[in-house]
Structure 1
Amino acid sequence: MAELHHECGVVAVYHWPNRDVSPLLPDDNLTSASRLVPRMLIDIQNRGQLAAGFTTFNPARNQLIDTYKEIGSVAEVFNMNRPDDYARLMKEYAGHAAIGHVRYATCGKDDRSYAQPFERHHIEKQKWFSFAFNGQLANYPELREEILSRTDFHLARENDTEILMHSICLELSGDRRPTIPEMLSVLSQKFDGAYNIVFLNAVGDMFVARDPLGIRPLCWAKEGPLFAAASESVALSNLGFASESIHSLEPGTAIVIQNGKFEIARFAASPHRAHCFFEWIYFANVASTLDDRNVYLARKALGQKLAAREHVPLDEDTIVVPVPDTAKAAAAAMAYELKLPCLEGLMRNRYVGRTFIEGRNRADKARTKYTPVPEVLRGKRVLLVEDTIVRSTTMRALIKQVRERGGAKEVHVRVACPPIVAPCFYGIDMSTVKELFAPAFLKGGPLTPEIEQLMADELDADSLKYLPVEDLAECVGKPVSSLCQACVDGRYPTSAGRRLYQIALENSRGPARAEDGRTYDAPALAGCGPG
């Protein structure tokens, strides 16, 4: 599915000094720990393709913490395809502690100044810090106004990462010397939304923190002298950490490394959880395990549920075709249950990046990214499995290609997700209400077979079936009370989310204007949230 993007991903690594060098490092020098960061970022490249960067700490150099970041993929930014340039870069930024970030953003300039980590220089080492952020502050407009109301304060960028930087600065200002958990506790009372933070200062202190709702995933591992954290477990397992060493960080807690000590500290109560279900059905790497639930097994369960709802005649001319790549696990499970072949009738061009595809519209981009295989599709009844439908432009183009270029006899769309009916305010590039495909058909009511057929007719499909929202939690393997399903049920876990949704609904009743940006932005406080 080419219509939805995650905002960001974060990583961190710390090797204790004066200890035997971890066998997981690339060589026997503990300052090579920073070289693990590009490898980890490659593993979470799915979470952001616009920019990448890292900050490293080395007390032996004059620039105690130093940040390198650029626009481009991880391999492009770190010169990983040019071994000599990569080696020089890794030598220049060598350190025993580092944090890293991959970025995708829905708005804001696509220039280096928006790339992360954000570094803040100061003569005091405790106030000289760098951090990276994954998520979105739903109360960004209010936070922005609060900061700008202070005398002589200025914000250079329209994103919540800068809001977060100034908020940290305020907590460290003057003679204040809060502990890291104390600082995070104060921030948690101000912030509404999703936030995973990785932080490093010029003393060598590090923390990684997860918001009290646990909206976005954050995993960590520690073996001997080496600690690492990442948005997804796959980045840790691929470094060589044993599976039993990899954990999900509890919401409302932080791992603090300070004065050589390792501490897991709670900074906020977490009576309720709101894990984003989209992490399991679309965003995360299929090999990752998030909050004790494997992504592959969740997607397999989605396919099994779709199979149980199948109604079209099944014969030797019926095949299951996934839209690559994230729908493959669901499609394979569906096909297995129905005793049908699961064939690759659509091929994805793996060398076309997500951030730029030449073409005038999404249909052009779909034609560039996906190629039908007539030898697989011709004369077949195709059950086309997709992970979700947002705007429907990509799906329309795919159906057209499968019919006209592929020669399929019938195209039946099966969606491993309920209809998307509301925007996301917690870190996903979600469309405005007016641009979403499903709301115009549902009109606030339940999904019925008759409505699904109207949707199918609109897409030029023979039929369309969605996963019922009631099946979602069971497939993900979590209680519905611990999931954020706002984009499919309109129930937001935070007050700012609920307020923004009302603004989105009001704005959807008027004409959409591209220059307005996201239509859920309050007119007087318009701007971009995700960093």
Structure 2
Amino acid sequence: MSDSIKHECGIAMVRLLKPLEHYRQTYGTELWGLNKLYLLMEKQHNRGQEGAGLAAVKLRAEPGEEYIFRERAMGTGAIQEVFAAVHRELAAWPKQQPFVGELYMGHLRYSTTGRSGISYTHPFLRRNNWRSRNLALAGNFNLTNVDEVFAHIVARGQHPRHNADTFIILEQLGYLLDSEADRQYRRYKEQGLSGAALNEAIEAHIDLERILREASEIWDGGYVICGLTGSGDMFSLRDPHGIRPAFYYAADDVVAVASERPVLQTAFDIETEQVRELLPGQALIVTKAGEVKPVQIRPAENVRPCSFERIYFSRGSDRDIYRERKELGRLLVDEVLRRVDYDFAHTVFSFIPNTAEVAYMGMMEGLQEWFDRQKCRALLASRETLTEAEISDIMAMRVRTEKLALKDIKLRTFIAEDSSRDDLAAHVYDTTYGTIRPGVDSVVAIDDSIVRGTTLRRSIVHILSRQRPRKIVIVSSSPQIRYPDCYGIDMSSMGEFIAFNAAVELLRERGMASRIDEVYAECKAQAGLPKERIVNHVKKIYAPFSDREISDRIARMITPPDCPSRVEVVFQTIAGLHEACPNHTGDWYFSGDYPTPGGNKLVNRAFIDWYEGRGRADR
């Protein structure tokens, strides 16, 4: 993606099912679980580079010894900083062995709410003198109705110290965990238990299913929420729409959870089929006793897994994602050929590094298949008269491929002046000179998605035009991004989408600017309604125009003033997206069809904010 956006967060969990002595004897170290957590986190570092944290629970700690540990850090080097701190603790307290336990949780964070800092870095921790009432919480999620959840727990008598969704969920689950511990206390106290025996009974019978069902009943959003209790229970719960991803691996001595499948394969050296996907609405629960239970907490409904996971966010090393990204490229072949008038001899194909490379490979395969069919027809049509030289010329015809765009430098924030910053931004990418015949050749460059178009205009198109091609065709393997995400990706402002700005320009140019005011009035009129009654009025901004009209306006917007080449833009269709990724139909970024009522509420709010001057570039 030329315009980078912040990813979703990443989660990792490891539960050792045997005594630590087993790992010392089998794998040579009691730190085996901790080392696996490090590997799971490092292999998912792409999912969060603002901060990282881990929590660990020790099952067999003696009274007076610590049994729950946490370490967090901020910045792009947070993973290394966290684990370095852990190993310093181990060196300082070798007999107590801090962080050497049976339960581990790791988290990689990108903030999508504008809130950052160490206090917002997962895991969150709720302390209590009773082990069963301690809770460590982390997740990859964003709730659209955190205000409702906040009001719900306040009405119950709680007094949250923050209103961020993670704090609210921690308090909600913590309250229910306390209630469950009280329920078990009364149950076993009536049976005559007391002291250590009573405590053991409570810890052995904490009903996490009951807690998760009650808590999640009012949640609206996309989430994978993970937790550890101080007494040794573990859970990971996925939203009923399957928006956010989670996978797990279970063996006789370990259970592990991660946001992506291939990281589990790499960390544990296992096959694809050994990794299971946590189903929509399902929780993976591991009890203190080590019982592993996949449990349906909420019924699956309107299942719409995030398609952006497939296009961009997840690692391309996943078997299915790799195939899907290639198919996204292949499906663009027909439209690309029309844009270059089927002129292979005068067209050079390339990609915008680094994430579009797999889609580029798929497009190249599709182009070569088309080319081979044409060569077969040519050979068959004149098979009686062709000379050996003519056959050789036909067989020698190839798709022209070059690496034209190279990511060269990273823009540094110490450049403060706008003019200097813009000049530097223009050189983030470079080109391979001498590969294009000026005024003769066209260039086709594929990207995996186009969000803002800023890097295309300032750098990529600018640098490609230096070779003075006849035409530059920018191809996006995803459809036009028109609507904000509200489920955990940092795409919340209407004004940042070039497709939205293109539609607004067209409305004004064609004398239809009143529609903008009408949509604002309709959004405002719904502001006080329950989320279930709200509809997405922002769709009306795009309704008067075809996809091609918006694409053509985007092409004008990304063309630098001094560009000597004609610029065109081709987007994947939504139908093509679903054909390539049939099991991940969450397309709300492109279609505006949100899987939860809260999505409609937040897209209208985003439009109101833009209209009133918040998140709007031209005000």
TM-score range, shorter chain: 0.7 to 0.9
Report the more deviating stretch, 413-422 or 331-340. 331-340
Q: What is the aligned partner in structure 1 of residue 265 from structure 2?
A: 237
1:89-138 alpha-carbon deviations (Å, 9 max, x no partner): 99642222201000001344432111111111111111112121101101
Q: What is the aligned partner in structure 1 of residue 120 from structure 2?
A: 114
Aligned residues of 2:52 and 2:82 also touching (Cα < 8 A): no
Which residue identity does 2:273 align to in structure 1? E
Q: What is the aligned partner in structure 2 of residue 264 from structure 1?
A: 294
Which residue identity does 1:467 align to in structure 2? Q
CA–CA separation in structure 1 for the residues paired with 2:291 and 2:281: 20
Matched, 1:179 2:214: no
Q: What is the aligned partner in structure 1 of residue 137 from structure 2?
A: 131
CA–CA separation in structure 1 for the residues paired with 2:427 and 2:259: 30
1:462-497 alpha-carbon deviations (Å, 9 max, x no partner): 11111111211111132xxx6221111111111111
Output aligned runs, 1:82-231, within 5 Å.
88=91, 92-148=98-154, 153-156=159-162, 158-174=163-179, 175-176=182-183, 179-231=207-259
Matched, 1:57 2:54: no
Aligned residues of 1:200 and 1:206 also touching (Cα < 8 A): yes
Structure 1 residues 304 and 112, CA gap change in structure 2 (3 angstroms): same
How far does residue 145 in structure 1 lie from its aligned partner after superposition? Answer: 3.7
CA–CA separation in structure 2 for the residues paired with 1:301 and 1:24: 46
CA–CA separation in structure 2 for the residues paired with 1:383 and 1:476: 24
Aligned residues of 2:52 and 2:78 also touching (Cα < 8 A): no
Aligned residues of 1:21 and 1:29 also touching (Cα < 8 A): no
Report the more deviating stretch, 13-22 or 333-342. 13-22
- The structure 2 residue matched to 1:373, chosen from 432, 447, 450, is 432
How far does residue 439 in structure 1 lie from its aligned partner after superposition? Answer: 2.3
Aligned residues of 2:243 and 2:303 also touching (Cα < 8 A): yes
Which residue identity does 2:403 align to in structure 1? E
Report the more deviating stretch, 170-179 or 294-303. 170-179
Aligned residues of 1:418 and 1:488 also touching (Cα < 8 A): yes
1:139-196 alpha-carbon deviations (Å, 9 max, x no partner): 123223444556571333x521111111111212342456111111112211000110
Q: What is the aligned partner in structure 1 of residue 597 from structure 2?
A: 495
Aligned residues of 1:422 and 1:487 also touching (Cα < 8 A): yes
Q: What is the aligned partner in structure 2 of residue 247 from structure 1?
A: 276
Structure 1 residues 79 and 514, CA gap change in structure 2 (3 angstroms): same
Which residue identity does 2:272 align to in structure 1? S
Question: Structure 2 regions of 5+ residues with no counterpart?
Answer: 185-205, 369-398, 504-540, 560-565
How far does residue 330 in structure 1 lie from its aligned partner after superposition? Answer: 0.8
- The structure 2 residue matched to 1:335, chosen from 364, 374, 377, is 364
CA–CA separation in structure 1 for the residues paired with 2:167 and 2:596: 22
Output aligned runs, 1:334-353, within 5 Å.
334-339=363-368, 340-348=399-407
Aligned residues of 1:358 and 1:365 also touching (Cα < 8 A): no
CA–CA separation in structure 1 for the residues paired with 2:263 and 2:428: 26
CA–CA separation in structure 2 for the residues paired with 1:278 and 1:24: 43
Give the SS at the match of 2:331.
helix
Which residue identity does 1:444 align to in structure 2? Y
Q: What is the aligned partner in structure 2 of residue 15 from structure 1?
A: 16
Q: What is the aligned partner in structure 2 of residue 458 from structure 1?
A: 557
Q: What is the aligned partner in structure 1 of residue 350 from structure 2?
A: 321
How far does residue 507 in structure 1 lie from its aligned partner after superposition? Answer: 3.5
Aligned residues of 2:52 and 2:79 also touching (Cα < 8 A): no
Report the more deviating stretch, 437-446 or 34-43. 437-446
CA–CA separation in structure 2 for the residues paired with 1:147 and 1:118: 18
Matched, 1:429 2:528: no
Specify which structure has the higher proportion of helix: 2
How far does residue 331 in structure 1 lie from its aligned partner after superposition? Answer: 1.3
**What is the number of equivalent residue pairs in this alignment?**
504
Q: What is the aligned partner in structure 1 of residue 44 from structure 2?
A: 44
CA–CA separation in structure 2 for the residues paired with 1:316 and 1:23: 64
Output aligned runs, 1:497-512, within 5 Å.
497-512=599-614
How far does residue 372 in structure 1 lie from its aligned partner after superposition? Answer: 2.9
Report the more deviating stretch, 184-193 or 107-116. 107-116
Structure 1 residues 365 and 76, CA gap change in structure 2 (3 angstroms): farther
Structure 1 residues 317 and 215, CA gap change in structure 2 (3 angstroms): same
Which residue identity does 2:295 align to in structure 1? A
Which residue identity does 1:50 align to in structure 2? E
- The structure 2 residue matched to 1:78, chosen from 55, 76, 81, is 81
1:4-61 alpha-carbon deviations (Å, 9 max, x no partner): 2223110101111238846998x42344302211211111111111101111122355
CA RMSD of aligned residues (A): 3.1
CA–CA separation in structure 2 for the residues paired with 1:322 and 1:172: 52
Give the SS at the match of 2:590.
helix
CA–CA separation in structure 1 for the residues paired with 2:25 and 2:435: 44
| % identity of equivalent residues | 25
Q: What is the aligned partner in structure 1 of residue 383 from structure 2?
A: none
Aligned residues of 1:74 and 1:102 also touching (Cα < 8 A): no
- The structure 2 residue matched to 1:299, chosen from 325, 329, 346, is 325
Which residue identity does 2:334 align to in structure 1? A
CA–CA separation in structure 2 for the residues paired with 1:219 and 1:366: 38
Aligned residues of 1:6 and 1:283 also touching (Cα < 8 A): yes
Matched, 1:470 2:575: yes
Aligned residues of 1:424 and 1:430 also touching (Cα < 8 A): yes
CA–CA separation in structure 1 for the residues paired with 2:322 and 2:413: 28
Q: What is the aligned partner in structure 1 of residue 458 from structure 2?
A: 397
Aligned residues of 1:78 and 1:86 also touching (Cα < 8 A): no
Q: Given the two structures, how large is their TM-score scaled by the length of structure 1?
A: 0.86
Which residue identity does 1:273 align to in structure 2? V
1:222-250 alpha-carbon deviations (Å, 9 max, x no partner): 12211111000121011112322111111
Question: Structure 1 regions of 5+ residues with no counterpart?
Answer: 520-531
Q: What is the aligned partner in structure 2 of residue 483 from structure 1?
A: 585
How far does residue 438 in structure 1 lie from its aligned partner after superposition? Answer: 0.8
Structure 1 residues 408 and 492, CA gap change in structure 2 (3 angstroms): same
CA–CA separation in structure 1 for the residues paired with 2:164 and 2:432: 43
Aligned residues of 1:42 and 1:74 also touching (Cα < 8 A): no
Q: What is the aligned partner in structure 2 of residue 524 from structure 1?
A: none
Aligned residues of 1:194 and 1:426 also touching (Cα < 8 A): yes
Which residue identity does 2:357 align to in structure 1? K
Which residue identity does 1:68 align to in structure 2? E
Report the more deviating stretch, 174-183 or 8-17. 174-183
Structure 1 residues 19 and 152, CA gap change in structure 2 (3 angstroms): closer
CA–CA separation in structure 1 for the residues paired with 2:25 and 2:226: 21
Give the SS at the match of 1:429.
coil
How far does residue 508 in structure 1 lie from its aligned partner after superposition? Answer: 3.4
- The structure 1 residue matched to 2:316, chosen from 263, 266, 286, is 286
Structure showing greater radius of gyration is 2
CA–CA separation in structure 1 for the residues paired with 2:308 and 2:585: 10
Give the SS at the match of 1:122.
coil
Specify which structure has the higher proportion of strand: 1
